[in-house]
Amino acid sequence: MSRTESNLGQLIINYGAIIAFLVVIIFFSISTETFFRLGNLQNIIIQSTALGLCAFGLTLVLIAGEIDFSYGGLIGLVGAVLASMLAHGYSALSATLVCLLIGGASGLLNALLVVGFNLSSFLASVAVFFLCMGAERVYSHGVTVWIQNRTMLSLVQGHIGPVPIPIVLLLGFSFVCWFLQTQTRAGQHVRAIGENIQAAREAGIRTSLVKSVVFVLAGLLFAFAGCLETLRNGGAIMYAGKQLLLFVLAASFLGTATFKAGKANFPGTLVGAFFLITLMNGFTLLGMKFYLIPLAQGLILIASVAISSMRRKKIEQVKF
Amino acid sequence: MPTVAEPRAKRPESFIVRRLSGFSIRYSIFLFFGLFFAVVAFLRPNFISLGNIYDILIEASLVIFVAFGEAIVIAAGAVDLSLGNIAGSGAMIACALLSVREFSVPAGLSIGIGAGVLIGLINGVFVTRLYMNSLIATLGTMFMLIGLLYMVTFGQTIMLLPDAFTMLGTGSILKIPIPIIIMAFVFLICHLLMEKTKYGRTIQLIGGNIEASRLSGINIKNVILFAFVACGLLATLSGILLAARQGLANVDLGERFLLQAFTAAMLGTVIFGGRNVIVGTFFGSIFLISLINGMTILGVGPEWIYFAQGSLLLGAILLNYYSKRVLPGLYR
């Protein structure tokens, strides 16, 4: 392989997602009139909020070298609980706290299965995913509950000054996540565990504790994202989490193809979330058919994962 | 990327304890289902009538090939989440050709099965040539297939299938339903493939220890690829049989296969402690289907049946973990 080729490959691996993102933005700006307007761009960021926060949770787990699918069920469960609690007259604060509690409990369950029972995190979190989905179905009986609570809805509809609250939330959370992960000792420990757990253990990091905390934090992020998603939908719709399943996964893996060459990172995930929502937004503006959405999701997921795993040169096994 | 946790080898104290634990894992499954059947048969005698047993076997024969496919892929140390959609795509293509384009039955079937094999091949290339994690790669394939299938068929339901085709699902030879005959045939082939041929033995070797297989000069890439192709083939077979049984095909034909096949294959891997996976999966499928059948006869709501399947999957995974990591040396 010549030198220029390997440089080009390096460029694609490091900045592939950003280049593709720019291409997509230019394409939509030219092909539709409404895409590049302030209102639409603002809309894209607002729509990215729940997806982004959820993907941050997944990114945190990916940095620790594990994976967590439980959000696919948890988001729906949290939504059902939130909507029905508000409908029964509980305050916005208490409903949110209960939702976060559920998220933390689900994270704790993941941690128990992965750290305590030494199960593969794939399997453990898929089991929790199904468990949450079953619980949602039993709890809600498939009935859609709409939310009327003004305080709660202002979380997605309100403004601070001229800036919509979701944008503040998304950018705030991404900064906090990035800061905690890269600038604090505990955050560095998370990365160390993901890179080489044996070395981390021998360096004196309490790997079980850090991993458990990571799963619980991820559960909390998923639950909060679930609340936002429910509010954005205006109510609890059956299996809302299932629709986000691939989006979140794709956003996090797109992040690994951005900035940090094959490794999960928060800024990359933020770009990934924007990228996906932009794509969907543009598709809608162009009047594309609904069935192109799963097709595009699958393609993007495969392309982004391929970019981040091609360099490994080693078949990865799934152990049960 | 996720790494596999270090096996924490705790050796039980004595031979007798190990033996007892091994037996209890193996027979607890039989005991659990035996008790369940006894209770259902006591409450609803219909459950063990010949007609219902035929029903269970036919239902099992529809899901069993996908389960075999998943068991083969799991034995190779990978997993396939797209098999329900492979089944749906293959069956839809075959049915569309038969009904709309009026192909002859052998031609339509072979093109449908060919499509399934091709998708399996693509999955295998993702995993072995692009080094993608099989769970994520097949999740991507799954969603691509959902989109593609809608694009090709516009979400239509295909009916008016030729009689020669629906015979596959509804006919019988010497009073034995054809699906059961096909099931017995495919069961035998898969079992011989996994236990008596070089490819089958190699698949299990790779699933057990990929590093040792590489060092002993096995072409691991091609063997894992082969497992995915076999899975695609078997999944399509299931889809086609289901379409023939229903007499129609629609886009979410294969939707129910994923959870059921995964659960049956996981049970099958556990029952004989990682050996004889095909025989194990055969039992796993029958147990699973009769569990669903029994719960339906008892009048249990669909959400609880779903819940029971999920718990069964989790239980099988935990048992598998226990028998592989906590009781090492007993089985392998």
Tell me which chain B residue has its CA closest to the CA of residue A128: B314
Asked, for residue B329, whether it belongs to a domain, the answer is no
Distance CA B97, CA B160 (A): 12
Give the bridge partners for A159, in sequence order.
Answer: A164
Question: Does residue A217 register a pLDDT over 90?
Answer: yes
* pLDDT value for B233: 93
- Residues of chain A found within 8 Å of residue B135, distances taken between Cβ atoms: 122, 318
What range defines the domain where residue B175 resides?
A: 29-323
Query: How is chain A split into domains, by residue range?
Result: 48-242
Asked, for residue B23, whether it belongs to a domain, the answer is no
Percent of chain A with pLDDT over 90: 25
- Residues of chain B found within 8 Å of residue A211, distances taken between Cβ atoms: none
Tell me which chain B residue has its CA closest to the CA of residue A264: B1
- Residues of chain B found within 8 Å of residue A290, distances taken between Cβ atoms: 150
* pLDDT value for A234: 84
Asked, for residue B24, whether it belongs to a domain, the answer is no
Tell me which chain A residue has its CA closest to the CA of residue B152: A291
Largest CA distance in chain B: 67
Asked, for residue B205, whether it belongs to a domain, the answer is yes
Q: Which amino acid is at A46?
A: I
Task: Answer yes or no: do B307 and A134 touch at CB < 8 A.
Answer: yes
Q: Please name the residues in contact with A7: beta carbons below 8 A apart, sequence gap of 6 or more.
A: none
Q: Please name the residues in contact with B257: beta carbons below 8 A apart, sequence gap of 6 or more.
A: B63, B66, B83, B84, B87, B235, B238, B239
* pLDDT value for B22: 66
Task: Answer yes or no: do A309 and B133 touch at CB < 8 A.
Answer: yes
Asked, for residue B238, whether it belongs to a domain, the answer is yes
Tell me how close the Cα of B39 comes to any Cα of chain A, in angstroms.
25
Give the bridge partners for A236, in sequence order.
Answer: A145
* Count of residues making up chain B: 332
- Residues of chain B found within 8 Å of residue A295, distances taken between Cβ atoms: 143-144, 146-148, 151
Asked, for residue B5, whether it belongs to a domain, the answer is no
Query: Mean of the per-residue pLDDT values for chain A?
Result: 85
pTM for the model stands at: 0.78
The DSSP output letter for A34 is S
Mutation target among A290, A291, A297 for the B interface, most CBs of B within 10 A = A291
Task: Answer yes or no: do B146 and A295 touch at CB < 8 A.
Answer: yes
Distance CA B166, CA B293 (A): 23
Distance CA B153, CA B132 (A): 30
Distance CA B251, CA A290 (A): 14
* pLDDT value for A297: 79
Nearest by CB to residue A320, choosing from B128, B220, B320, is: B320
* pLDDT value for B1: 43
Query: Mean of the per-residue pLDDT values for chain B?
Result: 82
Contact, B68 vs B80, CB < 8 A? no
Q: Shortest CA distance to B309 belongs to which of A127, A286, A181?
A: A127
Give chain B as a 3 state SS string: CCCCCCCCCCCCCCHHHHHHHHHHHHHHHHHHHHHHHHHHHHHCHHHHCHHHHHHHHHHHHHHHHHHHHHHHHHHCCCCCCCHHHHHHHHHHHHHHHHHCCCCCHHHHHHHHHHHHHHHHHHHHHHHHCCCCCHHHHHHHHHHHHHHHHHHHHCCCCECCCCHHHHHHHHCEECCEEHHHHHHHHHHHHHHHHHHHCHHHHHHHHHHHCHHHHHHCCCCHHHHHHHHHHHHHHHHHHHHHHHHHHHCCECCCCCCCHHHHHHHHHHHHHHHCCCCCHHHHHHHHHHHHHHHHHHHHHCCCCHHHHHHHHHHHHHHHHHHHHHHHHHCCCCCC
Tell me which chain B residue has its CA closest to the CA of residue A250: B140
Tell me how close the Cα of B274 comes to any Cα of chain A, in angstroms.
11
Q: What are phi and psi of A235, to 5 degrees?
A: 175, 175
Asked, for residue B2, whether it belongs to a domain, the answer is no
B131 touches chain A (CB under 8 A): yes
Tell me how close the Cα of B247 comes to any Cα of chain A, in angstroms.
25
Task: Scan residues 290-329 of B and list those with Cβ closer than 8 Å to A.
Answer: 303-304, 306-307, 310, 313-314, 317-318, 320-321, 324-325
- Residues of chain B found within 8 Å of residue A65, distances taken between Cβ atoms: 1-3
Tell me which chain A residue has its CA closest to the CA of residue B324: A320
Distance CA B203, CA B316 (A): 21
Tell me how close the Cα of B142 comes to any Cα of chain A, in angstroms.
7
Tell me how close the Cα of B57 comes to any Cα of chain A, in angstroms.
27
Tell me how close the Cα of B102 comes to any Cα of chain A, in angstroms.
27
Split into its structural domains, chain B has a count of 1
| Tens-digit pLDDT profile for residues A166-177 | 888 999 999 999
Tokens of B202: 């190699």
How do beta strands A145-146 and B172-173 pair? unpaired
Q: Shortest CA distance to B141 belongs to which of A297, A78, A257?
A: A297
Q: Which amino acid is at B62?
A: L
Task: Answer yes or no: do A120 and B4 touch at CB < 8 A.
Answer: yes
Tokens of B151: 């694009």
Contact, B139 vs A246, CB < 8 A? yes
Q: Is the dihedral of CA B196, B198, B201, B207 positive or negative?
A: negative
CATH number, domain at B81?
Answer: 1.10.3470
* pLDDT value for A143: 80
Tell me which chain A residue has its CA closest to the CA of residue B138: A302
Mutation target among A114, A239, A318 for the B interface, most CBs of B within 10 A = A318
Tokens of B315: 């239980």
- Residues of chain B found within 8 Å of residue A263, distances taken between Cβ atoms: none
Task: Answer yes or no: do A127 and B317 touch at CB < 8 A.
Answer: yes
Task: Scan residues 54-83 of B and list those with Cβ closer than 8 Å to A.
Answer: 74, 77-79
* Count of residues making up chain A: 320
For residue A274, give the 3-state DSSP assignment. Answer: helix
Q: Please name the residues in contact with A36: beta carbons below 8 A apart, sequence gap of 6 or more.
A: A25, A28, A29
Task: Answer yes or no: do A306 and B74 touch at CB < 8 A.
Answer: no
Asked, for residue B73, whether it belongs to a domain, the answer is yes
Question: Does residue A298 register a pLDDT over 90?
Answer: no
Helix (H) or strand (E) holding A163: strand A163-164
Q: Shortest CA distance to B319 belongs to which of B21, B53, B66, B115?
A: B21
Mean pLDDT, to the nearest integer, of A256-260? 71
Mean pLDDT, to the nearest integer, of A282-292? 80
Distance CA B13, CA B230 (A): 41
B145 touches chain A (CB under 8 A): yes
| Segments in chain A forming alpha helices (H) | 3-31, 38-63, 71-87, 92-111, 121-140, 150-157, 165-183, 185-195, 197-202, 207-233, 240-256, 266-285, 292-309
Distance CA B154, CA A200 (A): 53
Contact, B82 vs B139, CB < 8 A? yes
Tell me how close the Cα of A266 comes to any Cα of chain B, in angstroms.
15
CA B150-A75-A303 angle, to 5 degrees, is 50
* pLDDT value for B247: 82
Q: Please name the residues in contact with A85: beta carbons below 8 A apart, sequence gap of 6 or more.
A: A94, A95, A98
User: Digits of tens for pLDDT over chain B (332 positions)?
Assistant: 444 454 444 454 556 666 666 677 777 788 888 888 888 888 888 887 888 888 888 888 889 999 999 999 988 888 888 999 999 999 888 888 888 777 788 888 899 899 999 999 999 999 888 888 888 889 889 888 988 888 888 778 888 777 777 877 787 888 888 888 888 999 999 999 888 888 888 888 887 778 788 888 888 888 889 999 999 999 999 999 898 888 888 888 888 888 889 889 988 888 877 778 898 899 999 999 999 988 888 888 887 888 788 888 888 887 877 777 665 544 43
In the block, tokens 């059956």 appear at A238
Task: Scan residues 211-230 of B and list those with Cβ closer than 8 Å to A.
Answer: 220-221, 224
